[in-house]
Structure formats: C-alpha cells, structure tokens
Amino acid sequence: MDMQSSKGRPRGVGAGRESTVERLDGHAPDPAEEAVRPRYDDPWYDALASGWGESEGAGAPALATVPPARGAGESGVAAAEVYLEVQRSAAFQEVRRRYRGFVVPAFAAFFAWYVGYVVAATTVPELMARPVAGAVNVALVAGLGQFLTTFLLTWAYARHARLRRDRAALELRWDTQELTRGVNGGAS
C-alpha cells in the first residue's frame, strides 16, 4: 500500500528532505536564485511516525534505543532495598492506615447510597414519583443528592489528605530520596 504525502506524490520519491519551496509551474529553479532563496526545512513534513507505513530497511530511519537507566546494576538493587525498607517502616504503614481509615468507610457509605438510589428507583417507582415540591419529586432530589455527595466526598477526601497524610507522605518522600541519593553516590 503506497501512502501519499499531502502533495499527492508517493512518499520516498525525491532526493530526500525538501530544501526549497516546490515550484508548481514545472520549471527547475535557477542555481543562483537557489543560493539566496530562504530554505523551508521542516523535519516533520512527510515524516512518518515510527513504524507507520514503511517496513524496516526500506528507507525508514532506525528505531531509537532506550538508554540504560542511570546507576543500573548493583545500585539498582540497593535502591530497591531502600524502597522495601521504607515500605516496611512504621511511618509508611501509618500513612497507609490513615488512607484506608478514610477511603474504606467513605467508599462503603457512598456505594451503599448509590446502590440504594438505584434499587429504590427500580423497585419502588411510586415512592420515587412522589412529589416533594411542585414538579420536583423524590427521584430528582435523590439524583441531585448523588451529585452533592460526590462533591462533598471529594472535598472531605482532599481535606483529610491535606490534614492527616500529606505532611507524613512528604517526609517519607524526602527520606526516601535522601536514602536513594546516598545509595547512588549522590546521583538520584
């Protein structure tokens, strides 16, 4: 399958990258005029994304290789040990305990509220159709309550994180960074 460039000619036709604006009248440019004319090199023009439309070795550039990680080897094992040590620490376990202490009950309460709304809407439609004020019924109030509780839960989660976890997590992050910096010999 030949892919076409935006100018209608097959890709790969020509002498490589374009160096000037292509003449549309079919006349070749004058070499003296060519030297003073500004160049319009565009490295992205007619360039294919890596691996798109051209097979390896058919004029396609070689794929870039990923360089090895800094400090690979023995220091990588030592850095992994640092992270495992931090994970086992009492401070990390306290941050995780505080996280679970909020998320598990909040999830259970919100999920029960959501399932209760769906079950009530499907099993007792006469209750959900009961008017509250004018054209507003119980189903509409409960549906808007779902949105309200979503925003309240988001606010409560952000407040809990800010007041009870963020400082401890930041201290753990700094300690971990310092420990890995020491293991890698000053390079983090």
17-39: pLDDT as tens digits: 544 555 555 566 666 666 666 55
Residue 152 structure tokens: 């309240």
Residue 124 structure tokens: 């007792």
Q: Under a CB-based contact definition with an 8 Å cutoff, are residues 152 and 59 in contact?
A: no
What are the distances in angstroms from CA 21 to CA 15, 59, 65, 75, 187?
14, 23, 34, 53, 48
Residue 173 lies in a domain: yes
Residue 113 lies in a domain: yes
* pLDDT tens profile 35-90: 666 555 555 555 555 555 555 555 555 555 544 545 445 556 687 888 888 889 99
Predicted pLDDT of residue 66: 47
User: Using CA atoms, how far apart are residues 111 and 118, in angstroms rounded to an integer?
Assistant: 11
Predicted pLDDT of residue 72: 47
What is this structure's pTM? 0.53
Phi/psi at 133 (nearest 5 deg)?
Answer: -155, 110
What are the distances in angstroms from CA 19 to CA 22, 29, 37, 159?
9, 12, 10, 58
Nearest to 153 by CA among 111, 117, 118, 119: 111
Specify the 3-state DSSP secondary structure of 107.
helix
Overall domain count for the chain: 1
Please name every residue paired with 133 in a beta bridge, in sequence order, or none if there are none: 136
End-to-end CA distance of the chain: give it in Å, rounded: 48
Predicted pLDDT of residue 152: 96
User: Using CA atoms, how far apart are residues 137 and 157, in angstroms rounded to an integer?
Assistant: 30
| 41-50, 87-96, 178-187: the lowest-pLDDT one | 41-50
| 76-90, 92-106, 145-159: the lowest-pLDDT one | 76-90
Residue 103 lies in a domain: yes
Task: Name the residue range of residue 105's domain.
Answer: 74-183
Residue 1 lies in a domain: no
Residue 104 lies in a domain: yes
Residue 43 lies in a domain: no
Residue 128 lies in a domain: yes
Residue 137 lies in a domain: yes
Q: Under a CB-based contact definition with an 8 Å cutoff, are residues 138 and 132 in contact?
A: yes
